[in-house]
Structure 1
């Protein structure tokens, strides 16, 4: 359904009847921002239960300033985003990040770490997530317009890169195994490739894709680079991918051991969440517990 203007589309709008607008100071708000999307969920902290999930997509967005303007319009028209919450966390999705082992990390060199594999404006800010599970730092770009927007409307001054939450969650799920395991987290126009062996991160990369052919090409190319046997490697899929889609059909065509990730049982979910597959919004719904 279209909402606000012709360039904003509501993808999901899940609202539990238990949501109480006068009790939002007992709730946690989790936000996820990508270059053409904005999603959020609301967790009732007292009952440890997710009550709300909303997702918007924007077209004709070509830079972060346009995205910030689109999100601001969404905030102004979505009553739930005007409330005050006990706490707010923010995930930022993009491929301008790099992971540095803790012994080699120097806080003064964040810009230098990124300049080799990321294009960014000189006046951008930088984030630094500590990845305790692998003793490393995830250094990433924070567009100033996004940082200002989040602070002005939500008072949040901590923005986490989306791959940090993925890595911590996936490492936790494989800690009792020494086998290599591949995780693919799918977005509208990109996907994350996370390869783990036991409690070690082998690779984390994000690929921008324009078509389903791009998706399977880059995935198989990455598998080839790490000498992964498509017949044997265990692939766990999360994110924006329908089981009936061509993307998922291609996965089964080229890789034999494919499964969809389930929801984290660290929190409860409203029965309304049954409207969407369990692997949708995996990162957003796991961010708080991770």
Structure 2
């Protein structure tokens, strides 16, 4: 792709000094792509430990073509994305083009029809995929912008790349971590201008959707709306928050104003993290860590 304009900024980089790219054959590479960021992490499978993380913020990027262009430039900048010997390459895409369908009703021949009911997409510009969202019972049908899909594939010509929707990895991780004996709970994953809301209980996933917000008022509106629909009490429920939100942000202050109990989530358990990760807030990069639990 012919472009000379750089519209990304490396905002965070972690590398365990014990890791070398020559060890890639024993590691998985996880990549999270959204309209606002390209992030990736490496897990040493033998040690079951995250050892690398890089976070690139996309600046003045507005179209899928521009995201694909910046992904290509980031790959040229990062030796990690130039490496080909990974055990597995798993990529999550974050957007609103998804729908969850019970396995018993799912017919692969009609995946586009399912998605068209919920998403305004163009089959000529999108690639439609699916995977199991939370075990064998539910299928997540989702779309990836074609230019982003082809660019990501082209980075790893020697590997079969697995694509998942970001809701699939969040659902798997939330169910993996959640103590269902505590009853119903709401979990928020916050990105710039997007908020994924999950509600889980002892029977599993009860609600999942992605909302677009432009202000703290929009943000809290969707949270309260879902709580009302799910018959949850803002005075009694505890909401767990992950993602791009900080303790002193307007989003968090607005949450605390309307919800009595708000807490930040922790990194997923059952996988280790290099000590280099200790200086980061545990609720950050949940979408990357959660890719470890996808199949």
Pairwise same-fold verdict (TM > 0.5): yes
For structure 1, which segment, 56-65 or 189-198, has the greater mean C-alpha deviation from structure 2 after superposition? Answer: 56-65
Aligned equivalents of 2:166, 2:102: Cα separation in 1: 18
Residues 14 and 147 of structure 1: is their aligned pair in 2 closer, same or farther, counting only changes over 3 Å? same
Partner of 1:145: 147
Alpha-carbon shift at residue 153 of structure 1 (Å): 0.8
Comparing 212-221 and 275-284, the one that deviates more: 212-221
Let me know the Cα RMSD of the aligned residues.
1.7
- 1:64 paired to 2:67: no
| Range 15-24 or range 130-139, more displaced | 130-139
Aligned mates of 1:102, 1:39 — CA distance in 2: 31
The aligned residue for residue 105 of structure 1 is 106
Alignment correspondent of 1:205 = 209
In the aligned structure 2, how far is the partner of 1:231 from the partner of 1:20? 50
Q: Distance in 1 between matches of 2:12 and 2:203?
A: 34
**Residue 59 of structure 1: CA displacement?**
2.2
Change (3 A) 1:134 1:27: closer
Per the alignment, residue 114 of structure 1 pairs with 115
Q: 2:186 aligns with which of 156, 161, 182?
A: 182
Tell me the SS of whatever aligns to 2:292: coil
Give the superposition deviation at 1:190: 0.6
Partner of 2:251: 247
Alignment of 1:156-171 (within 5 A): 156-171=160-175
Task: Report the alpha carbon displacement of residue 283 of structure 1 after superposing the two structures with TM.
Answer: 2.1
How far has the Cα of 1:175 moved from its partner? 5.3
Residues of 1 paired with 2:67 and 2:131: CA distance? 23
**Is the Cα contact below 8 Å between 2:96 and 2:210 reproduced in 1?**
yes
- Preserved CA contact (<8 Å) 2:6 2:70: no
SS in 2 for 1:210: coil
1:216 Cα deviation after fit: 1.4
Higher mean alpha-carbon deviation, 160-169 vs 258-267, is at: 258-267
Unaligned runs of 5+ in 2: none
Q: 278, 283, 286: which one pairs with 1:279?
A: 283
Paired residue secondary structure (1:227): coil
Instruction: Note the C-alpha offset of 1:134.
Output: 7.0
Aligned to 2:8: 8
Using the TM superposition, give the Cα deviation of residue 62 of structure 1 relative to its aligned residue in structure 2, in angstroms. Answer: 2.1
Partner of 1:91: 92
Contact kept, 8 Å, 1:190 with 1:208, in 2: the verdict is yes
Q: Residue 115 and residue 221 in structure 1: after superposition, are their counterparts in 2 closer, same or farther (change >3 A)? A: same
Write the distance in 2 (CA, Å) between the matches of 1:178 and 1:81. Answer: 41
SS at match of 2:293: coil
Are the aligned partners of 1:8 and 1:57 in contact in 2 as well (CA < 8 Å)?
Answer: yes
